[in-house]
Amino acid sequence: MSETSKTSKTSQASETSETSETLREKALRLDAADELGKLREKFALDEVTYLDGNSLGALPAHVPARMADVITREWGELRIRSWDESGWWTAPERIGDRIAPLVGAAPGQVVVSDSTSVNVFKAVVGAVRLAGDDRDEILVDATTFPTDGYIAESAARMTGRRIVPVAPADMASAAGPRTAAALVNHVDYRTGRLHDLPGITAALHAAGALAVWDLCHSAGALPVGLDAHGVDLAVGCTYKYLNGGPGSPAYLYVAERHQAAFDSPLPGWNSHTDPFGMTPGYEAAAGALRGRVGTPDILSLLALESALDVWDGVDVEAVRAKSLALTDFFLECVREYAPAGRVESLTPGAHAERGSQVALRCAEAPAVMAESIRRGVVGDLRRPDVLRFGFTPLYVGFADTERAARVLAEVLAEVPAQVPARVPAG
C-alpha cells in the first residue's frame, strides 16, 4: 500500500472517530435533558439496545409481582369469587377506560377484549351495518397489514359488499356515494409512514361513509385524537407501545354516537344485557360493552392493566416530542456512520408523516439484522429488504439510538454488499 493510501485511510478513520465522539456527546446531552428518561427504570431492561418495541414492548418491572398475586391469591385462594371480589368481570371496560386517554377518547367508548383481528372484524362489519344497505363498497388501505386485508375481505363476503384497495393518500378522493366504510392503518407497519387521520376521516364523512382506524403502530407513541377528529370506530393491539405483554388483548373503540345502533357480528353472552339470565334471545348491552364477546382472558387482561401503570402522569404530547427527536437523531447518526449507498430510509423525513419507527431498505437486510442482534442491537426484519427500528420513548434513550446506528454501520462495513446479477447481453 502506498504512503498516500495509508495517509488517506488514517485520515478517514480519524474523521469517523471524531464524528462518532461528537454524536456520542450529543446523545449524552440529550439524555441529560430528557424529561421522560427516568421512566426507563420502570422496565426490566439489560445492556441490549432494544429497538423492537413496535413489535413487542418491554416488560414493566412491577408486572411479575402483580401477576404472582393474581395467580396465587385471586385465582389460587379466591377462585371463582374473584369475578366479583377482584373485579375480574368489569376488567374489559375498566382497562378500556385506562387506554382511552392514550387514544384521545372519553370514558365509556373503549373495551378491551379478543385479538386485533377479531376486533377488526367486529368494527368493519359493524361499520357496514351502520352505513346502511345502499352502500356496497368497503375501501381498504392498499398497504395494510395483511391480516386487516384478509379480515376485511371476509367481512365484505359476509355483508355482500366489495373490497376496493386504495392507497391512503388517495382515500379521500376514492370515497363516494357507494362507500360504506374505510379501514385504514394510522401508521404503516412496514415504512413507519403516518397517515392523515383527521383529513381522511373528514373526507369519508363528507362522502357519507364511516372511518375505521387501526392504531396498532400509533397508540402509545403519538396523540391519536379519536374523539376530537370524529373517528367512528377504531381497533388496536396492546403489546407494542402499550407494553401489555405477548398476545395481550386488543381493544375496540366505538364512538358514543354509534353505540346504540352498533350491531356486532359476534353477539356473545358477555355482551348480553343480562349475561347470567341465559335467555335464548340476544339483547345487546348498552355502551362499549357491546364489543365484548366471550369470557375475558383474565391473566393477560390483568397483566396489561398492571403494565399501564407506567403511563400514570405521562403526557402523550411529550412522548410524541421525544419520539420525533429520537427518530431524527437516529437518521442523523445513520447518515454520518453508515457506508454510502448501503441503506435508504423508507420513513418520511417530515414529522407530520412519521410514526415512531425508522425503516431502512438494505439489500443485505437478513444478514445485517441477524448480526446486529448478535451484537446486542435488536430491531427486526421485514422481508426481503427492510430493517425496522422502533423507538419507544418511555424506555429508549439517545445513547441507545447512537449505539444502534454505530453498530449498524459496523455491521454494514463487514457484510459484503450484494452485487446485482448481470443480465446476459443479447
List, by residue number, the catalytic residues: 145, 214, 239-240, 388
Distance CA 55, CA 361 (A): 18
SS3 202: helix
Asked if residue 422 lies in contact with residue 395, where contact means CB atoms within 8 angstroms, the answer is no
- Residues forming beta bridges with residue 389, ordered by sequence position: 358
Q: 354 φ, ψ to 5°?
A: -125, 135
| Residue of 287, 264, 263, 267 lying closest to 275 (CA atoms) | 267
What backbone phi and psi angles, to 5 degrees, belong to 254? -125, 115
What DSSP character marks residue 274?
S
User: Helix crossing, 3-32 with 398-414: angle to 10°?
Assistant: 160
Q: What is the DSSP string of 89-124?
A: TTHHHHHHHHHGGGGT--TTSEEE-S-HHHHHHHHH
Cis peptide before 384 (omega within 30 of 0): yes
- CA–CA–CA angle 405, 411, 412 (5° rounding): 85
In sequence order, the β-bridge partners of residue 380 are 388
